[in-house]
Structure 1
Amino acid sequence: MSQIQISNLTFSYEGSLVEVFQNASFQIDTDWKLGFVGRNGRGKTTLLKLLLGEYEYRGQIKSQVDFFYFPFPIQNQDDLTINVLEEINPTLEQWRIRKEMHLLELDEDILYQVFSTLSKGEQTKILLAALFLKEGGFLLIDEPTNHLDVQGRQQVSAYLNQKKGFILVSHDRKFLDDCVDHILSIQKQSIVVQRGNYSSYHKNKEAKDLFEWKQNEKIKGEIKAMEEAKRKTKTWSDKVEDTKIGTRVAGLRPDRGAIGHKAAKMMKRSKVMENRIDRSLDEKSKLLKEVEEKEDMKLFPQKYTKNTLVSFKNVAIQYNGNTICSDVSFELNQGDRMNLQGRNGSGKSSIIKLILGEDIHFTGEKEIGSGMKISYVNQDTSFLEGSIQDYAIQEGIDETLFITLLRKLDLKREDLNTNIKYYSQGQKKKVLLAKSLCERAHLYIWDEPLNYIDVLSREQIEEVILKYCPTMLFVEHDELFCEKVATKRSVIQ
């Protein structure tokens, strides 16, 4: 076991006036299983790249271990999987990789399949196994769950729970609880390291925030009183200074020297009091800066004319002569929030496309409500570009409401003046979600809406859904979100 020490870390991107980190200091042990959390855009991936030495910075990063980043870039995706693994780790022994594959419930046959033909989940698991077999390394694992279904997440969390020596960036609360023993959190003003899993961290953070919020009114009152005292002190000292001019009373000339001496003493006392009040004001103003605000949001669901919005009976979908899914039967009624479940590749997205009216070959019975307004959140964000204002016009949504929702989802003002194509993956997903929340729809269809979305934003989205009770059909692998939001489930075999 050794330590990774970060001291007075300061970093900003070239051309930016905003510092991502300012004099950040903390230390972690290389034996820890560290969950890394924080709102989108706070600098989680940036910190990983700083550890890798990809950016210049001020301060110090001291470590006796090498850092390995996941996902690892693959030079030749059309090579056999075993060759890809040997390129990552030239000293790899096959008996060791087979042992790791067994822990991850991977079939050994995939070693001799072309890497690009593996599912995204299989690729994630086999690369994790190969990287953990590198000697003397500390793994930086950046959001591995985005391509994993529920079963895959359970397998990977069980695997990571048997390992040590990694930082894991993830927004899946249950996944973090199952495999970490420390939390590294980027907060509004600082970076915090705490022992325990995500739930224990969250409980402590909520208790701290609640205590600070309870002090809020008291602090506001104290700040107001101090500002008033400062104003009175300034007025008092100004009046004393004015007496130095003096006035002739009953033919007497004022003693300007005595008055000046008295005024100077009082001015000095006044200045001392002003400085003391300024310091106290500064301290009071900082007290609430770490509190994460989880602002309420709005949703505008519309009631459809009929009770049943979507009905599938024994539906099967085919692509190029291959059956993707079969015997799919369900009804989506007014007020239902259906979680469409199934392993990766089982046809969930194809069912959604069928509901949206895409030309997909199918057999069976399908009924979609006529004239129904659907609000859709796509898995893909790569098409997003241009300004926020132009996107709102293009989508026919209220620009003011759209920007308000993005601000509540923690996009900063400077982000709103940036081309969307430069947003992080999480910020792009928030654009799609905010757009959907703006739309007055009968049915909301969300296809893996929470990929890359930070925990606090997930909680905001849960709360707005539970408050406004829209009719929904969604695909999502965050088990905790599904437990809270879904009223029914349909499993695609």
Structure 2
Amino acid sequence: MILACHNLNKAFGEHTIVCDGSFHIEDREKAALVGINGAGKSTILKMIIGEEPLDGGDVILAKGKTLGYLAQRQDLTSGNTIYEEVKSAKADIFAMEAQLRSIEQELKSLTGEDLKNRLDTYNRLQSEYEAKNGYACESEITGVLKGLGFTEDDFSKQTDTLSGGQKTRVSLGKLLLTSPDILLLDEPTNHLDLSSIAWLETYLLNYSGAVLIVSHDRYFLNRVVTKVIEVDQAHIRMYMGNYKAYAAKKQQIRDARLKEYMNQQREIKHQQAVIEKLRSFNREKSIKRAESREKMLDRITPVEKPVESVREMHFSLEPSCISGSDVLTVEHLSKRFDSQQLFQDISFEIHRGEHVAIIGDNGTGKTTLLKIINQVVSADEGSFTLGSKVKIGYYDQEHHVLHDEKTIFDEISDDYPSLTHTQIRNTLAAFQFTGEEVFKQIRTLSGGEKGRVSLAKLMLSEANFLILDEPTNHLDITSKEILEEALNNYSGTVLYVSHDRYFINQTCSRILELVNQTFVNYIGNYDYYLEKKEELTRAYASAPAVSAGIAPSESSSDNQTESKLSWQEQKEQQAKERKRKNDLKKTEEEIAKLEERNTVIDEELTKEEIYSNSIECQKLSTERAENEEKLEALYERWEELAEDV
């Protein structure tokens, strides 16, 4: 065991962060610390490193072990370049190298015993240098920087000129190169593009030390961690497995507790009814029997009803009108900034009902493209056309749609003057703004709070074409799931940029990857993209200069038929696939409903008042037999649909 936290206690005023919380991390273990926003995850990390005092409990780091910490925000003021800053993590190795070079110069002028002693020192230092992988040190630094999305042209940039996200990446690179025995990482995937996140996953999976990660990136957690530590309402619980296993186990435990609670409540009500009936007989024996049952009831330890999952937001998206079939047509669009060409001569179409995700490395022009469509910036060449009755709702990750000088309440009321005071209050309450909070100025809000205000405005817009730039940034996992549900139930069209692979997988039906200044088109979700990425990128976007427009969604000769499909045929295929999935879901729901009814019937048939009543018994038995017959047909139908899907 490398780290143990015993009976941690921490509160800020009346707000309890953790109460008697305990967990441990083993050597080389990769663990996640999860919970809703405000649960206290970052505070717990600060308690571990000693930055935040404990109200009670102990944090024990194994003797001789080192600890490294990455905070969400970094302030690099050293005046170093990016390369110099990250290189400082290996200062001991470079000092050793300088000492070796110095001794090499001395050896030229030494003889006899002095030469022998100096050679002994040189050989000892060289062995230590080799053991610390000194000869590969510079390659390791370059590899980490490139893995985190920096180009060699970036290496000479001054750290004090960098954005907050770039500073975090520099600090992460520096921390990884120090190789502590346990890494504490607070939202390490923020500000990383998809390629950098994939690189970090591989790096951490192969990391020789232990890792404790705070992250809302479910795809990342599924790939990296083998233990999940949950902070929920000031309590800490540990679950073995990745995030998916944790979510399933948590639901399983909650279902079991709810079943136990419901069974106990049924038993209590039953006993109370029997007691009441016995007392109504008003005879000595029946009253004694009633009292005996009352004593038995008093000895029952009540089972607490499981708390419902915390829902941070409550909203749905509904378009005010249906747009035409052609929602967006982009033709020969190009954009460059100074000497950097972002994209060139791209053309594509988006049709009603599509959910399209734009992905690509940082700096390729994804956000710029959304800004062009929203007329925030202009294109250098080309044009775009919106279809009939298209009404755009825009979510901007920089929140330029918000006004710093306004309050949250005014931000809504000024844009939607027809809403009453109560309607505005109710809308904001759905996004967790209550009481005096609604009068906070926009400029004082955190990134997550601004995101919630922007989502509230998006909900009220009743747009039929949503354009979203990194909509899951600053949202916790629960809020992401609510947004996913809202988008999946949305009947309009969606175009969004995101680095959240889990979110993309759950909500998109098509992916446009911006690579080498053009688009590669994938008709499918993120899993499909991973399957086809290498093949299609090699075929359509491998060269620096590529042909105009959007690359097809298949490449090899075996797939020529599919690549030549007309737009209508592709749409028909997608519609059939959605229908099969919907039919499968409905079939599963019908099966669950009938199985649940059969369980109820089985319970009823064990009751004396039922099995002693031949008419009622026959009625229930007939219903159960009919249900079994229906289930048999549904099982066959489910197998057919599952095979198709």
**TM above 0.5, one fold?**
yes
Deviation at 1:334, TM superposition (A): 1.3
Query: 1:489 Cα shift?
Result: 2.2
Contact 1:77/1:114 (<8 A) preserved: no
Amino acid at match of 1:150: L
Q: Quick check: 1:177–1:199 contact (8 Å CA) kept in 2?
A: yes
CA displacement at 1:121 relative to structure 2:
7.8
Match of 2:235 in 1: 190
Alignment pair present for 1:430 and 2:471 = no
Letter in 2 for 1:5: C
Residue identity matched to 2:9: L
Q: How does 1:55-454 map to 2 (within 5 A)?
A: 55-64=52-61, 65-71=66-72, 73-76=74-77, 79-87=80-88, 90-91=91-92, 93=94, 95-96=136-137, 98-99=139-140, 101-102=142-143, 105-106=146-147, 111-115=155-159, 126-134=170-178, 136=180, 138-163=182-207, 164-215=209-260, 217-218=262-263, 276=298, 280=301, 283-284=302-303, 286-289=304-307, 291-292=309-310, 297-320=315-338, 322-369=340-387, 372-381=390-399, 387-396=407-416, 411=432, 416=437, 419=440, 424-454=446-476
Q: Secondary structure at the match of 1:302?
A: coil
Kept in 2: contact 1:446–1:473 (CA 8 A): yes
1:376 offset after TM fit, Å? 1.3
Note the residue ranges of structure 1 that are not aligned, 5 or more in a row.
233-268
Give percent identity, aligned residues only. Answer: 25
Is the contact between residue 41 and residue 214 of structure 2 (CA under 8 Å) also seen in structure 1? yes
Letter in 1 for 2:171: L
Matches of 1:310 and 1:156, distance apart in 2 = 36
Distance 2:340 2:143 in 1: 30
Structure with the higher helix share, 1 or 2 = 2
**Larger mean Cα displacement after TM superposition, 177-186 or 84-93:** 84-93
**Structure 1 match to 2:601:** none
Q: Given that residues 333 and 382 in structure 2 are in contact (C-alpha distance below 8 angstroms), is that contact kept between their aligned partners in structure 1? A: yes
Contact 1:6/1:61 (<8 A) preserved: yes
Alpha-carbon distance, 1:453 to partner: 1.5
TM-align CA RMSD: 3.9
**1:403 shift after superposition:** 5.8
Rounded Cα–Cα distance in structure 1 between residues aligned with 2:205 and 2:142: 15
Question: How much has 1:352 moved relative to structure 2?
Answer: 0.9
The number of residues matched between the two structures is: 450
Question: 1:313–1:330: 8 Å Cα contact kept in structure 2?
Answer: yes
Letter in 2 for 1:96: C
Q: SS state of the match for residue 327, structure 1?
A: strand
Structure 1 residues 328 and 467 mapped into 2: Cα distance closer, same or farther (>3 Å)?
same
Q: Under a length normalisation based on structure 2, what TM-score does the superposition of the two structures give?
A: 0.61
Aligned mate of 1:45, from 42, 46, 69: 42
Post-superposition offset of 1:196: 1.6
Say if 1:214 and 1:313 are closer, same or farther in 2 by CA, change over 3 A: farther
Name the CA shift for 1:206/1:292 in 2 (closer, same or farther; >3 Å): farther
- The CA deviation at 1:25 is 2.7
Match of 2:5 in 1: 5
Which protein is bigger by CA-based radius of gyration? 2
d(CA) in 2 for partners of 1:133, 1:117: 22
Q: 1:61 to 1:415 in 2, by over 3 A?
A: farther
Structure 2 gaps, min length 5: 95-133, 277-290, 518-645
- TM-aligned CA deviation for residue 153 of structure 1: 1.2
For 2:444 and 2:363, the matched residues in 1 are separated by 30
Structure 1 window deviating more from structure 2 (157-166 vs 370-379): it is 370-379
Secondary structure in 2 matching 1:145:
coil
Q: What secondary structure does 1:26 align onto? A: strand
The superposition leaves residues 161-186 of structure 1 with CA deviations (integer Å, 9 ceiling, x where unpaired) of 11132221111111111111211211
Distance 1:289 1:341, change over 3 A: same
Q: Distance in 2 between matches of 1:276 and 1:360?
A: 75
How far is the alpha carbon of 1:79 from its aligned partner? 2.8
